[in-house]
């Protein structure tokens, strides 16, 4: 594939505080050919000299701002920020219903909030204190530029962490915003191995205070591994979740448990970082009397827009700002379930779903506020215009790499259900991750590896096409990159540019493949490594709905450098995972 031209320019869009808008000094000529989008500061002029504050959220520091093309550069080495995560086999009572078995990080659900700043290096030591499971933690949406071996996907970028062993993940925060981390080992994140990440940086609208992350999830009373087994042998789809949790808590159908509460002071503006950490649910979220100013989708700052509600698929994030300018009282943060593509047992109980926004100084209590009619659809937001515009070369349309999504249910094997990409479900080999095969210079990946090669730099277009009659939406998540959504729709793509968007299209790391339809995603091969792309419905990933990209294989060793931690992990795992040495077997894709 040829080097394609990226026309790239910077713009400050429509910020309201015109007086403090920094001058953009590093406007790139539109015809400049960018060969690599690697983070470098050596050839770039600073964006501006202003510093971040409540009225200047578009600024950052040291010459970086919201106008910085964060693909091209990130602040130089900042702080090193260290966290220790310990995963244990325990129980949890999240909504007053009683204890269920859970696997928790540092004894909490969600796990600790990991917080660093743009340009910092995160060092995270993960200890597997589970007796009978491996693990591996993925940092969702982090680009892992030249650090593929820290992406945390057992069987692809590492061997799982064996019981009682520790692995150290090290990576640079080249992006900023909100995300989450979770186990990528089989369906283990459904057991509770989930937490959130904040990377502080500039923003496209102002706010006074940051309320932090607000993960919303579906919640099951049975262990995730049990539901996963049910799901992969079911002829009617996975069982429904029993409840939802907002920041780890909620009332149950009998009114036990408690709602999560956020406290605000009248007259201030607050940033809330919404994250859908579900296993199998789409949510819409709104706040009574307090419209959202949306400023990001995933890790991509967008031109801010105001809306009453946002609809979020699994893995997606929206950072929103609310203005606490209403009568001091208690208000609902409302959550509705995307019943168009799923359900939840809690709906029948009629208890309000959500959390409480509480104004300082008024008595606590269940809100009596009223709000907008909530959506029950499962489609993505459409207003998402990246703040720093990029365009995709139209020439790639003739080189679309097609992937057919089908399914197979094996009547001879207790109706084992598998999603197929071009005829095969992906199933990883924990003892021999594909990164290891690539590092050996081999391409002898197993029959169920679903490897697609991106051999040279330049842009690639991937076309995921539903061919099965099971018409449900799938939240497709890519590692190592975010991608540009050229188009999506129902039915089959006609192969033409009609209706596609090449000029500053929505860009993110998780997008919904429409029910029965297609998704066209483009991204440049600028990050050598092995990168998985999978459906983020945990059960579907377990049933094989994934592929992996072998990106510029000859450059992987040279860019990732030291593989000591990788080799140590495989040594420890291979010693542990031997026949007869463990009570459970791999029964699914392994990711
Ligand atoms: C968790 O503990 C239960 C018993 O309480 C045990 O049956 C199960 O094997 C343990 N799971 C892991 C992954 O260690
Ligand atoms: C959710 O809980 C975490 C951990 O206690 C906290 O840091 C965060 O601020 C909470 N989120 C919101 C929006 O209040
Ligand atoms: C999260 O995503 C799932 C699956 O796409 C969806 O069913 C659920 O409604 C979403 N939740 C929220 C709060 O957006
Ligand atoms: C409250 O804030 C919102 C969002 O900034 C704004 O649209 C609305 O006009 C404000 N309402 C009042 C009463 O000030
Ligand atoms: C892959 O499939 C071929 C053809 O079915 C078979 O001969 C071969 O043994 C398989 N390889 C592995 C590693 O399973
Ligand atoms: C992990 O442990 C759970 C029990 O806690 C078990 O059900 C499951 O099969 C184990 N998974 C694997 C792949 O060992
Ligand atoms: Cu799916």
- pLDDT score at 36: 29
- pLDDT score at 234: 92
Verify cis geometry, omega within 30 degrees of 0, for the bond prior to 110.
yes
Ranking 295-299, 367-371, 376-380, 556-560 by mean pLDDT, the lowest is: 376-380
- Check pLDDT > 70 for residue 34: no
Tens-place pLDDT, residues 455-498 = 999 999 999 999 999 999 999 999 999 999 999 999 999 999 99
Say which residues have a Cβ less than 8 Å from residue 221's Cβ, sequence separation at least 6: 97, 100, 242
Which of the four pLDDT bands, split at 50, 70 and 90, describes residue 73?
confident
Which of the four pLDDT bands, split at 50, 70 and 90, describes residue 504?
very high
Query: Which residues, in sequence order, are bridge partners of residue 80?
Result: 121
Ranking 154-168, 225-239, 439-453 by mean pLDDT, the lowest is: 225-239
Between CA 85 and CA 105 the distance in angstroms is 6
Tens-place pLDDT, residues 97-152 = 999 999 999 999 999 999 999 999 999 999 999 999 999 999 999 999 999 999 99
Q: If you average pLDDT over residues 558-571, what whole number do you get?
A: 96
Between CA 156 and CA 134 the distance in angstroms is 14
Please state the pTM of the whole predicted model: 0.89
Cβ neighbours around 97 below 10 Å, total: 17
9 class by beta-carbon count within 10 Å (0-12 exposed, 13-18 middle, 19+ buried):
middle
Span from the CA of 377 to the centroid of ligand 3 (angstroms) = 10
- pLDDT score at 3: 27
- Check pLDDT > 90 for residue 381: no
Tens-place pLDDT, residues 399-447 = 999 999 999 999 999 999 999 999 999 999 999 999 999 999 999 999 9
Span from the CA of 404 to the centroid of ligand 5 (angstroms) = 21
With contact defined as beta carbons under 8 Å apart, do 584 and 133 qualify?
yes
Residue labelled with tokens 């607000």: 214
Average pLDDT score, the chain:
89
Question: Which residues have CB atoms below 5 A from the ion given as ligand 7?
Answer: 474, 535, 537, 540
pLDDT over 90, % of the chain:
79
Residues in the chain: 591
- Check pLDDT > 80 for residue 66: yes
Residue labelled with tokens 């259900």: 417
Residue 171 host element (H or E): strand 166-172
Residues with CB under 6 A from ligand 2: 113, 211-214, 247, 262, 272
Say which ligand is closest to the CA of 245.
3
Say which ligand is closest to the CA of 338.
3
With contact defined as beta carbons under 8 Å apart, do 273 and 311 qualify?
no
Nearest CA to ligand 6 atom 1: 133
Dihedrals φ, ψ of 181, to 5°? -130, 150
Which pair of tokens denotes residue 540?
């579907």
- pLDDT score at 1: 30
In SS3 terms, 360-393 reads as CCCCCCCCCCCCCCCCCCCCCCCCCCECCCEECC
With contact defined as beta carbons under 8 Å apart, do 204 and 302 qualify?
yes
- pLDDT score at 48: 60
With contact defined as beta carbons under 8 Å apart, do 220 and 250 qualify?
no
- pLDDT score at 29: 27
Query: What are the structural domains of the chain?
Result: 2-65 (no CATH), 394-576 (2.60.40.420)
With contact defined as beta carbons under 8 Å apart, do 143 and 137 qualify?
no
With contact defined as beta carbons under 8 Å apart, do 152 and 169 qualify?
yes
Q: Name the residue of 276, 381, 539 whose CB sits within 8 Å of the most ligand 3 atoms, as the mutation to test its pocket.
A: 276
């Amino acid at each position: 594939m040829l080097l394609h031209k990226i026309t790239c320019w910077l713009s400050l869009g429509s910020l309201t505080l015109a007086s403090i808008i920094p001058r953009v000094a590093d406007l790139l000529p539109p015809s400049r050919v960018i060969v690599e989008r690697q983070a470098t500061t050596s050839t770039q002029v600073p964006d501006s000299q202003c510093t971040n504050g409540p009225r200047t959220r578009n600024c950052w520091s040291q010459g970086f701002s919201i106008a910085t093309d964060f693909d091209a550069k990130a602040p130089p080495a900042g702080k090193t920020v260290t966290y220790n995560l310990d995963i244990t086999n325990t129980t949890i009572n999240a909504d007053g219903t009683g204890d269920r078995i859970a696997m928790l990080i540092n004894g909490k659900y969600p796990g600790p909030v990991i917080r660093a700043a743009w340009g910092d290096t995160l060092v995270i030591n993960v200890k597997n204190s589970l007796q009978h499971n491996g693990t591996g933690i993925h940092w969702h949406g982090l680009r892992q530029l030249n650090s593929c071996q820290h992406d945390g996907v057992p069987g692809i970028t590492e061997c799982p962490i064996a019981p009682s062993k520790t692995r150290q993940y090290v990576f640079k925060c080249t992006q900023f915003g909100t995300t989450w981390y979770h186990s990528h080992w089989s369906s283990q994140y459904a057991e509770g191995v989930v937490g959130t990440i904040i990377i502080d940086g500039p923003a496209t609208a102002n706010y006074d205070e940051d309320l932090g992350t607000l993960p919303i999830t579906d919640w099951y009373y049975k262990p995730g591994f049990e539901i996963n087994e049910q799901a992969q042998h079911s002829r009617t789809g996975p069982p429904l979740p029993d409840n939802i949790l907002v920041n780890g808590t909620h009332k149950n159908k009998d009114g036990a448990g408690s709602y999560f509460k956020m406290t605000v002071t009248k007259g201030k503006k607050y940033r809330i970082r919404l994250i859908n950490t579900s296993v199998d649910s789409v949510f819409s979220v709104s706040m009574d009397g307090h419209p959202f100013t949306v400023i990001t989708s995933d890790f991509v700052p967008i031109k801010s827009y105001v809306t009453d509600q946002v609809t979020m698929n699994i893995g997606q994030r929206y950072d929103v700002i609310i203005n606490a300018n209403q009568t001091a009282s208690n208000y609902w943060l409302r959550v509705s379930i995307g019943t168009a593509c799923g359900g939840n047992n809690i709906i029948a109980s009629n208890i309000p779903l959500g959390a409480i926004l509480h104004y300082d100084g008024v008595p606590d209590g269940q809100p009596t506020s009223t709000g907008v009619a909530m959506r029950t659809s499962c489609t993505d937001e459409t207003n998402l215009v990246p703040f720093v515009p990029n365009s995709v070369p139209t020439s790639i349309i003739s080189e679309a790499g097609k992937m057919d999504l089908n399914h197979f249910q094996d009547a001879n094997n207790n109706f084992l259900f598998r999603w197929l990409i071009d005829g095969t479900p992906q199933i990883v080999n924990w003892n021999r991750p594909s990164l290891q095969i690539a590092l050996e210079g081999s391409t002898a990946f197993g029959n169920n590896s679903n490897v697609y090669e991106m051999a040279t730099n330049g842009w690639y277009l991937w076309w995921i096409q539903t061919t099965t009659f099971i018409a449900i939406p799938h939240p497709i998540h890519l590692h190592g990159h975010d991608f540009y959504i050229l188009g999506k729709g129902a039915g089959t793509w006609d192969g033409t540019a009609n209706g596609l968007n090449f000029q500053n299209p929505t860009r993110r790391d998780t997008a919904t493949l429409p029910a029965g339809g297609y998704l066209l995603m483009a991204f440049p091969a600028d990050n050598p490594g092995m990168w998985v792309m999978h459906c983020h419905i945990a059960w579907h990933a377990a049933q094989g709905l994934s592929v992996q990209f072998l990106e510029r294989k000859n450059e992987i060793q040279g860019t990732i450098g030291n593989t000591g931690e990788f080799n140590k992990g495989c040594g420890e795992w291979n010693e542990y995972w031997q026949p007869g040495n463990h009570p459970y077997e791999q029964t699914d894709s392994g990711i």
